[in-house]
Amino acid sequence: MIRGKKVAVVMPAYNAARTLEVTVAGLPDIVDLKILVDDHSSDETVRVAGELGLTVRVHDRNYGYGRNQKTCYREALEAGADIIIMVHPDYQYEPALVAAMAGMIASGVYDVVIASRILGGGALRGGMPRYKYVANRVLTAIENILTGAKLSEYHTGFRGFSREVLEHLPLLENSDNFVFDNEMLTQAIYFRYRIGEISCPTRYFAEASSIRFWPSVRYGLGVLGASAKCFLQRRGLGHFRILDGSGRKLLESPAALRETVLAPDACGGGLAPSQ
């Protein structure tokens, strides 16, 4: 807890058994809730998460990174969290920075905080492949032009949100895949939430998650599409569901997610429907 606000860390997981323990060990003491949603992993992620004492939810099949986040955020909101920080369990980002990110939101100065790999020049030093760095910089420059923002990076997976943001953004209109991240950030910009950034070192190694080439191309096109929607809608040249304030929201349409989620059975290690 920080400044009387309940802090939740949510971890969208897929085959993260090897790196989960070190990620959780790095989380600061201010974290009140640690929630992991497993997107139908084939390794021991669920077992390890249970041993670490995390609140665990398991998708009944692999739905994708975006759907995983939707479940993460719904679970955190229903558990009463005031500040929600997404931490990838692959240990690519520094979990100790959760305290700083939560503090920025608890201060009331920011509604959204992103941990940038670009600020401070740590991306290449941390092993980010040069082609990914170049792609990141080019896409970010175009996105800033289209959205009117001035962010150093749109593609980090380390982000924090106030409860209000997650309650009011039409997140159920977003993709179930990797472009969800950019759609969500575009929504935050469009609805004029205050976005802060913090410098974050990054680590690239065999166990860290990575998108293959063709999915990366589709991701890039999806990213540009999300920013273009923001550009067009602000000028009255289009109307898009992801930017519709009356669109489907997490707590208004929970059944859309709940039926796909299972929870580890506390008695026997099997799976039972999530409540």
Q: For each of the domains in the chain, give its residue range(s) and CATH number, in order of start.
A: 7-249 (3.90.550.10)
CB count in 10 Å sphere of residue 29: 7
Token duo for residue 93: 């980002």
At residue 216, the pLDDT reads: 74
Residue 23: name the closest of 160, 158, 199 by CA. 158
Q: Which burial class, exposed, middle or buried, applies to 118 when counting CB atoms under 10 A from its CB (0-12, 13-18, 19+)?
A: buried
At residue 261, the pLDDT reads: 75
Q: Give the bridge partners for 161, in sequence order.
A: 84, 112
Residues of the chain with pLDDT under 70: 122, 205-214, 254, 256, 258-260, 263-275
At residue 263, the pLDDT reads: 67
At residue 203, the pLDDT reads: 78
